[in-house]
Amino acid sequence: GYTSNNIASMINVDFNTVKFHKSNLFKKLEVKNSTEAIGYAIANGII
């Protein structure tokens, strides 16, 4: 997977913007990290 720095560079935004949106996503999904978010997405047919 890509790091937050990689994602920020790829979409031309600041690292903190990526960090902010990932944090909000984790709260909404009730997960603690990217690994749990991927597990959630797989379990729910998102990916």
Q: What is the pLDDT of residue 1?
A: 84
Show the 3-state SS of 1-47.
CCCHHHHHHHCCCCHHHHHHHHHHHHHHHCCCCHHHHHHHHHHCCCC
Is the entire prediction scored with pTM above 0.75?
Answer: yes
In this predicted model, what pLDDT tens digit does every residue of 8-43 receive, in sequence order? 999 999 999 999 999 999 999 999 999 999 999 999
